[in-house]
Amino acid sequence: MSEQLLRLDHITMQFGGVVAVDDLELVVNEGEIVALIGPNGAGKTTAFNVITGVYQPTNGAVWFDGAKIIENHPQGKMKKQYKGQCDGLYTETLSPTPDKITRAGMARTFQNIRLWKTQTVFDNVLIAKHCRSTSSVFSAAFRLNRKEEAAQRAQVEELLEIVGLSDVKNELATSLPYGKQRRLEIARALAAEPKLLLLDEPAAGMNPQETEELTAFIGEIREKFKITILLIEHHMNLVMGISDRIYVLDFGKLIAHGTPAEIQKNQRVIDAYLGVADDA
Amino acid sequence: MLNEKKSKRGTVIALLCALALLALVILLENTMKPTGMLFTVLKKGAVYALVAVSMNLLNGFTGLFSLGQAGFMLLGAYTYAILTIPTADREAVYYLYNGSAVNFSLPELFGGGAVGLVLGVLLALFLGGCAAAAVAWLIGLPVLRLKSDYLAIATLGFAEIIRAIFQWDPLGPVTNGANALKSFPTFSSFNIQNADGKVILRLSTFVPFLLAGVCVAVIVLLINSTYGRAFKAIRDDEVAAEAMGINLARHKRLAFCISSFFAGVGGGLFAMFANQAQAKVFTTAMTYEILLIVVIGGIGSISGSCIAAFLYVAASEWWLRFLDTETYIGSFKVPFLRTGFRMVVFSVIIMVVVLFFRKGIMGDKELPDLLKKRQKKATKEAVQP
Amino acid sequence: MQYGISILLSGISLGGQYALIAIGYTMVYGILRLINFAHGDVFMVAGLMMVYLSASLPLAAAIPLMIILAVLLGFIIERAAYKPLRTAPRMSVMISAIGVSYLLQNLATYVTGGLPQMYPALPGLSNQLTIAGVSTKYVTVVTPVLVVLLVAALTQLINHTRIGMAMRAVSRDFETAQLMGIRINSVISVTFIIGSLLAAIGSLLYFTNYQSIVPLSGSLPGLRAFVAAVFGGIGSIPGAVVGAFLIGICESVIKGSDWSVFSDAFTFAILIVVLCVKPTGLFGEKVTDKV
């Protein structure tokens, strides 16, 4: 049995009076591709932001690679307002900034592409290597880190070769067509040498053909990098095609999880997506 | 491999250019009349170039809009002055406070003479930079969390607070209160004299060029290093930078401290240029001046800042001087020309740049980029006859 | 006791004058998210115009003319220096504002020859009066009353007129307001006009108290007023007024103590503390960024 890489325990995220994610339990095992799906506003991206440290959860804990990386419980004003469950189960507060989490071995992409606009394709990927660099400002400024720098550049070359972007490596990132920008964002995330890759709607805004290419691409990445992937997606073809397991969120709550085949047959999932007729 | 070779060649060419420039400066200085306006412009321009580049590191490369440059220059200038005034002159400089609380002078500690002068001045400048960086570190703790325009106003405020503290009377024995510090080694102290006191080799313009040049070179190296790339990532997209493992707080503080360090060194050099250090000089207006240099040169261009610094200083101190004096052509009095008109014309030019040439002289390109482009064009034309 | 009263009185009147400037900052910031660095200089120029106009015109004509010219100046600055940069990054607009401030100061230096100008005595405002044994000028009493009246009028305008509604909409969401057919440019112009009008009235009161004007007279009161606006919560008019009164009183207390060198430093210290502890100020609304 493969090991658990990521585990969410009773994660609840409440904004004011709105519970965006309610008592979410989620496990990603090493080597898996897990998809998080759900209708718009179900709380998928919020869950992502909690995992990557952008938001501090209101309650719950996140375990990654055998260590607890995030934990929180309702505090201050939230104590009275808290509407979620498992109040009192957690006592610690552990909320690292996103960069720490990335260095711990997670890297993400964004729903709306966030590349560094004035940088070339090559530099975009190279900058992501910065978090793995061990040189101090002085050694970097006075070029005492030549070896490391050269190694990083070589790795980036190789990475760009694998993702098929080496022919455009000196172009500005924003001059690329949309599909390639998506690819570049994934390459950039891979450059941070993650164990877990988080993809936030990688196929958003893509036509069926591009989506198909992307599906193949994600499969390739998993093979080549032996990496675990958690993704949010709306394109069911993509999700059903590559996921090992699927979690379904609706109104912040987990309504189902299982293999693609199970999910496709699940009545609650179908209801959530298609809506339940009022007179039923 | 090819790339590496190319960049190595680029470095060699840049070094050669810098050496040629320095040689030219020495040559000019020793052949032309030393009191000419040209040398004032060159000295001040070199100092301003360094300060503008240090500001550009922050505003242009890290995307932090800080307006505290004059405050950090003040710290550097005072540290330099306090540490280098000869002990014999302290009584006279601090006459209002019956002498100084600091009773040593770095050049003397190093044994005086030429060696003592060089080592003492260098160490004092370095410590000036360190003082500025240390204060920047403290200020940065609360202030760097602020968003762009709030950061600007908070750093502006800090510069004002620093200025007030240095003019505070109880600190007089150290800072000489609101009075100027003087008698410390200046650029002309580096002119080499023979036994009769006659100058045989002038180095008073060469020294600021060398010092500012070395500092700018270090900044350029930093910007092209992995840290510089991280700074640019923060400027382009903070959220993405953080998501890719760049510690925002640490890198912003780093950029802020490094920028302040060089502003402090620039402040020390400014004191050497002005032959005195006085808190009331380092006003918000000075920060604005530097900011405008950065804008004119192009935000995000080091060579732009350097070129603009010299142009700015030359225009304001030299070329536009005539606007300030009443002039008659025959018996006709040229209208408008009188004290203050120069600055009006100057600010109009600046507004024109800000509004219509938003990219400044260089945009975010550097001099070598421009040359490369020309080369590319040339090869293209050669290929397609 | 008497000393305390005199300090309090001068603090309140100073605060009122800052309030009139601070409203200009807070309204512009609320709508354009721009620190209008030139606002303090508009205030200074209004003072200088009064000096020159009153030299050749009777006061009854000079005061309205000065106010009209100041309003025109504010309007022109916006049209010439900020409007072309509407789509530019925020840093460019701020640099443009600094440029305008630089231009106005240099222009003032040129016109005055750098010499301090004496502000004309205004009958009714400059006359002396005695409150609780403290002798002061009428302006001390008139200022807070006038401020309250003007703020009441402004609040009416913002809450109960069409243009006021447009202003509120624009400050909420610039782009959406534009899409909803609000004429952004006229709203912004009105904002600058109101700001300059209040700054002109403020200059009338302020310089009656301080009498001499130099080209830099606008920059520090401007910065203090900005601090007041931040203190009160930027974008909020009542906040700006309350903040301005607090800043004014603090300043006058410090100026009366042994620490007078630090009066400006103190103002900025307040600013930094407020920004770090509660960036939204006393009455500001919380804005959250979305990832």
Q: What's C73's domain CATH number?
A: 1.10.3470
Mean pLDDT of C6-26: 90
**Distances from the Cα of A271 to the Cα of A274, B366, C196, angstroms:** 5, 59, 59
Asked if B254's CB is within 8 angstroms of A137's CB, the reply is yes
Q: Which two tokens stand for residue B46?
A: 């070199």
CATH architecture of A1-105+194-280: 3-Layer(aba) Sandwich (3.40)
Whole-angstrom distance, CA of residue B50 vs CA of residue B103: 30
Please answer yes or no on whether C261 and B168 come within 8 Å at the CB atom. yes
Cβ atoms of B309 and B297 within 8 Å: the answer is yes
Average pLDDT, chain B: 87
Cβ B181 vs Cβ B276: under 8 Å? yes
Report residue B266 as tokens.
């620039």
Which structural domain, as residue segments, surrounds residue C248? 2-277
Taking the Cβ of residue B350 and every Cβ of chain C, the question of whether any pair is shorter than 8 Å is answered with yes
Q: What does the mean pLDDT of chain A come to?
A: 89
A109 touches chain C (CB under 8 A): no
Q: Do B299 and C91 touch (CB under 8 A)?
A: yes
The single-letter code of the amino acid at C39 is: H
What's chain C's Rg over C-alpha atoms?
Answer: 19
Q: Kindly state the tokens that stand for B98.
A: 């019956």
> Which residue, A62, A48, A58, A180, is CA-closest to A124?
A180
Contact residues, chain A to chain B, C-beta under 8 Å: 52, 54, 97-100, 102-103, 107-108, 110, 114-119, 123, 126-133, 135, 137, 140-143, 145, 149-150, 152, 188-189, 192
Return the pLDDT at B29. Answer: 82
B290, B55 contact by CB (below 8 A): yes
Residue B4 has what pLDDT?
Answer: 56
**Chain B: touching chains (3 or more CB pairs < 8 Å):** A, C
Q: Nearest CA of chain A to the CA of B219: how many Å?
A: 8
Q: What is the Rg, in whole angstroms, of the alpha carbon atoms belonging to chain B?
A: 22
What pTM was computed for the model?
0.90
Using a CB–CB cutoff of 8 Å, tell me whether B8 touches chain A: no
Which residue has better confidence, B7 or A135? A135
Query: Among C267, C168, C279, C283, which residue's Cα sits nearest to residue C226?
Result: C267
CB contact set of B88 (below 8 Å; sequence gap of 6+):
none
pLDDT digits (tens, 9 = 90+) for B9-56: 878 888 888 889 888 988 888 888 777 788 899 999 999 999 999 999
CB contact under 8 A, A123 and B229: yes
Beta bridge partners of A26: A8
Give me the count of residues in chain A.
Answer: 280
Question: How confident is residue C287, by pLDDT bands cut at 50, 70 and 90?
Answer: low
pLDDT digits (tens, 9 = 90+) for C265-284: 888 888 888 887 887 788 77
Nearest of B255, B266, B273, B71 to residue B190 by alpha carbon:
B273
Task: Answer yes or no: is pLDDT of C59 > 90.
Answer: no
Chain A residues whose CB is inside 8 A of the B243 CB are: 52, 54, 98-99, 102, 107-108, 110, 114
Say if CB A50 and CB A82 are below 8 A apart. no
pLDDT tens-digit readout, B150-196: 888 889 888 988 998 998 888 888 898 888 998 899 998 888 888 78
Q: Tell whether C92 is covered by a domain.
A: yes
C190-220 tens-digit pLDDT: 999 999 999 999 999 999 888 889 888 888 8
**How far is the first Cα of chain C from the last one, in angstroms, to the nearest whole number?**
56
- CB-based contact C113 B161, cutoff 8 Å: no
To the nearest whole number, what is the mean pLDDT of chain C? 87
Quick check: A127 and B232 CB within 8 A?
Answer: yes
C2-27: b (≥16 Cβ within 10 Å) or e: eeeebbebbbbbbbbbbbbbbbbbbb
- Inspect the interface and report whether the beta carbons of A126 and B229 lie closer than 8 Å: yes
Q: Which ipTM score applies to this complex?
A: 0.90
Closest by CA to A12, choosing from A27, A30, A24, A28, is A24
Q: How far apart are CA C122 and CA C128, in angstroms?
A: 12
Asked if the Cβ–Cβ distance from C230 to B161 is below 8 Å, we say no
Is C290 a residue whose pLDDT tops 50?
no
Average pLDDT over residues C144-152: 91
Q: Which tokens belong to A183? A: 């690819």
Is B249 touching A (CB cutoff 8 A)?
Answer: yes
With beta carbons less than 8 A apart as the criterion, state whether B228 and A133 touch: no
Residues of A in Cβ contact (< 8 Å) with C291: 49, 54, 110
Looking at the complex, does the CB of residue B376 fall below 8 Å from at least one CB of chain A?
no
Tokens of A233: 């997606």
Domain limits, chain A: 1-105+194-280, 115-193
To probe the interface with B, which of C78, C85, C91, C220 has the most B CB atoms within 10 Å?
Answer: C91
Amino acid at B233: A
Number of domains in chain C: 1
Region B334-342 average pLDDT: 80
Distances from the Cα of C174 to the Cα of C33, C181, C283, angstroms:
10, 11, 21
In a domain, C285, yes or no: no
β pairing state of A4-15 and A18-29:
antiparallel
Chains adjacent to A (≥3 CB pairs closer than 8 angstroms):
B, C
Q: Between chains, do B168 and C85 touch, taking CB under 8 Å as contact?
A: no
10 Å CB burial of residue A203 (0-12, 13-18, 19+) is buried
pLDDT over 60 at C12, yes or no: yes
Residue of C nearest to B356 (CA): C84
Residue C247 maps to a domain = yes
Instruction: Give the model confidence (pLDDT) of B233-275 as tens digits.
Output: 999 999 999 999 999 999 999 999 999 999 999 999 999 999 9
Nearest CA distance, A268 vs chain C (angstrom): 30
Per-residue pLDDT at B356 exceeds 60: yes
* Residue of A99, A115, A116 with shortest CB distance to B245: A99
Q: B379 pLDDT band (50/70/90 cuts)? A: low
